[in-house]
A and B are shown apart, each in its own frame.
Chain A
């Protein structure tokens, strides 16, 4: 399918770091000629939100805000960015300007649709059975035939490319490089009962299903040499922007995987609990000739994650004269209870459990003596500025107060927690014999305390951890 001779000459990835689009000004601390040009340079850290330029109205009295001096003003018109430029900076793709096609040249698809349309109409009008089936509602389209046609015509490669762009595969593996696959990779994991879990372009495969090596087939001439790599793009547990190599086979002759030199044995995917869905990509590279993989000095069955740390970009940059990516297939995987044994026994480590770190809710910094927001009472206001650990400690003490060591929750039978009057009374009972400070002092519970009791009883906010049904259960024990 791909013309092996016509390899795009543009496909070199250089080691040059992406350069900022110049706005006509050097982005550095170097000062330019003071005479003709302004004395300052555009600083990216300059906070434009603080560089207010008030009109300096006559009634403005505050000593903290004044008309800025010349050296405090922001960059002027023509130097500073306008809205469109700022949006472009925020939303440009990092490598859009320099994207490089590192694959084989796309072969033009035949488009003799017009001829086919006329022919099709003639044929179908004659076909009585087809008409009957259509009217009766029994017409069934063969999906497999449609799939075969898309493979033959090469349309599937456009779909694979689009799916890879959608999931950001090229960005993460090859940075500024991309390619149109030209060899269809047929990958399927064998399951029990003769079922297969195929790998297409982003479908779900659980780690339990992907525990053993899949069957990989592709069409190739006998004397072609290939290299197959399976890498996990998202799972890296120590470094940023690195991948783990799950399977690497080089110097494969024809389409026979067993003839290849296995540099890394197959290792199943292991997305940790709580991290969501991870992408795992099979890339098939076409080799120019037999390559020397002696730089891989590791033991091929290694389970050390440090040794399995891989960077497709660096690997490709090193060998780009010999390798061209020709095939791509990827799947997504998330956690599965079988991974606990895998972490413990195969990887020899404790099972990591993660949770998503949400952005902390916005709390207005307490800058002024007078509190503007009077909708919340003083205790809720002050709680916003306390260490959450202190609050949670208090909540835990309250929870333990109603937890029996053997019977558990002693208040679990209460259906209507707000209906018990005794909870709201007598909080401020004075000691016996003491005189009240003021004769008209109310002995009713104050409103802020009522709200606090209500929140406690309904298990709202921080009190949600007092709910015994929220206790984590070990999924393996409940089975």
Chain B
């Protein structure tokens, strides 16, 4: 618990809930001839969703941009890292604010019991299975994979990636949704048509 507190104080995270997170009721309000059906029908025109992860999951939330000249890619919401040391294999899913979402490591006893070698292909695949399971249980479905291009060529990584994709995690995050500015002249650079982030097709 104390570790978490240190994270919160040192990293001045941009609180998404402080952003004007309101939504507007788009159907008719005053002057409508429809009388309310019941007492439930009186609702506020603006409603705030307090879920701190909501904006990110709708892809409206901000990514920490501006670090394009850094070697380490920082524009992500959740990143998946895989560390293979001499003794152990550890996979972690970390939020951009530094808070861990899920982690799976061969240092765990329950896990280690079932493995022969802690850093071979089988171990890496097993770590992949467990990290994706834990990540889905925590509600994160899209994760940005942070591996160098050299590492990507290795067999171990390819198997790791295939195992994770099989279990339902998508290894690429959507782009940040940027609101249109209707005053801006876009005839020189016609932007792509965007689907509104709150559209649900089901």
A232 CB to nearest chain B CB (Å): 11
Stretch from A189-197, A436-444, A453-461 forming part of the interface with B = A453-461
Partner of B183, one of A149, A273, A363, A475: A363
A101 CB to nearest chain B CB (Å): 9
A52 to B73, CA, bound (A): 39
A145 to B46, CA, bound (A): 47
Q: Mark B169-202, 1 if CB is under 8 A from A, else 0.
A: 0000000000111111111001000001110111
Which A residues touch B202, using CB under 8 A? 206, 336-337
Partner of B26, one of A137, A143, A353: A353
Which B residues touch A353, using CB under 8 A? 25-27
A155 to B102, CA, bound (A): 12
B114 adjacent to A462 (CB under 8 Å): no
A172 adjacent to B50 (CB under 8 Å): yes
Partner of A354, one of B1, B13, B47, B184: B47
Q: Mark B107-122, 1 if CB is under 8 A from A, else 0.
A: 0111111111100111
Give the number of residues in B that approach A within 8 Å (Cβ atoms).
Answer: 84
Say whether, besides A143-B130, A168-B52, A274 and B183 are in contact (CB < 8 Å): no
Is A39 in the interface zone, CB < 8 Å from B? no
- A118-132 CB contacts (< 8 Å) to partner B: 120, 124, 127, 130-131
Q: Mark A367-385, 1 if CB is under 8 A from B, else 0.
A: 0000000001000100110
Is B148 in the interface zone, CB < 8 Å from A? no
Say whether, besides A145-B110, A355-B23, A383-B183, A279 and B51 are in contact (CB < 8 Å): yes
A348 adjacent to B115 (CB under 8 Å): no
Interface centre among B17, B22, B108 (most CB of A within 10 A): B108
A357 to B179, CA, bound (A): 10
Which B residues touch A161, using CB under 8 A? 1
Is B154 in the interface zone, CB < 8 Å from A? no
B27 adjacent to A352 (CB under 8 Å): yes
Say whether, besides A91-B12, A146-B110, A380 and B51 are in contact (CB < 8 Å): no
Nearest A residue (CB) for B41: A349
A233 adjacent to B51 (CB under 8 Å): yes
B95 adjacent to A96 (CB under 8 Å): no
Which B residues touch A42, using CB under 8 A? none
Total inter-chain residue pairs, C-beta < 8 Å: 240
Is A67 in the interface zone, CB < 8 Å from B? no
Q: Mark B68-88, 1 if CB is under 8 A from A, else 0.
A: 000000000000000000000
Is A298 in the interface zone, CB < 8 Å from B? no
A357 adjacent to B183 (CB under 8 Å): no
A460 adjacent to B198 (CB under 8 Å): no
Partner of A133, one of B22, B60, B101, B122: B122
Partner of B27, one of A130, A142, A350, A363: A350
Is A93 in the interface zone, CB < 8 Å from B? yes
A147 CB to nearest chain B CB (Å): 8
Is A116 in the interface zone, CB < 8 Å from B? yes
A113 adjacent to B109 (CB under 8 Å): yes
Partner of A276, one of B8, B25, B51, B139: B51
Which B residues touch A305, using CB under 8 A? 39-40
Partner of B20, one of A355, A357, A475: A357
Q: Mark A44-81, 1 if CB is under 8 A from B, else 0.
A: 00000000000000000000000000000000000000
Is B54 in the interface zone, CB < 8 Å from A? yes
A356 adjacent to B198 (CB under 8 Å): yes
Give the number of residues in A that approach B within 8 Å (Cβ atoms).
Answer: 97
Partner of B13, one of A91, A162, A380: A91
Is A237 in the interface zone, CB < 8 Å from B? yes
Say whether, besides A139-B116, A336-B200, A348-B41, A134 and B8 are in contact (CB < 8 Å): no
B187 adjacent to A304 (CB under 8 Å): no
B138 adjacent to A355 (CB under 8 Å): no
Which B residues touch A475, using CB under 8 A? 201
Nearest A residue (CB) for B122: A139
B100 CB to nearest chain A CB (Å): 7
A427 CB to nearest chain B CB (Å): 18
Is B57 in the interface zone, CB < 8 Å from A? yes
- A322-357 CB contacts (< 8 Å) to partner B: 331-332, 334-337, 347-350, 352-357
A272 CB to nearest chain B CB (Å): 8
Is B157 in the interface zone, CB < 8 Å from A? no
Is A141 in the interface zone, CB < 8 Å from B? yes
B37 adjacent to A348 (CB under 8 Å): yes
Q: Mark A228-250, 1 if CB is under 8 A from B, else 0.
A: 00000110111111000000000
A455 to B187, CA, bound (A): 6
A130 adjacent to B116 (CB under 8 Å): yes
Partner of B8, one of A93, A137, A237, A359: A93
Which A residues touch B115, using CB under 8 A? 124, 134, 139, 141
Lowest 5 CB-CB distances: which A-B pairs, in order? A149-B110, A202-B139, A200-B137, A134-B116, A141-B126
Interface residues of chain B, those whose CB is within 8 Å of chain A, are: 1, 4-5, 8-9, 12-13, 15, 17, 20, 22-27, 34, 36-44, 46-55, 57-58, 60, 95, 99-102, 108-117, 120-122, 126, 129-130, 133-134, 136-141, 179-187, 190, 196-198, 200-202
19 contacts between A and B (CB under 8 A): A91-B13, A143-B133, A146-B111, A149-B110, A161-B1, A163-B138, A203-B136, A203-B139, A206-B202, A234-B50, A276-B51, A352-B25, A352-B27, A355-B24, A356-B58, A357-B24, A358-B60, A361-B181, A462-B182
Known: A376-B185, A458-B187. 11 other contacts (CB 8 A): A90-B12, A117-B112, A166-B53, A166-B95, A202-B137, A234-B50, A237-B44, A273-B198, A357-B22, A357-B24, A464-B180
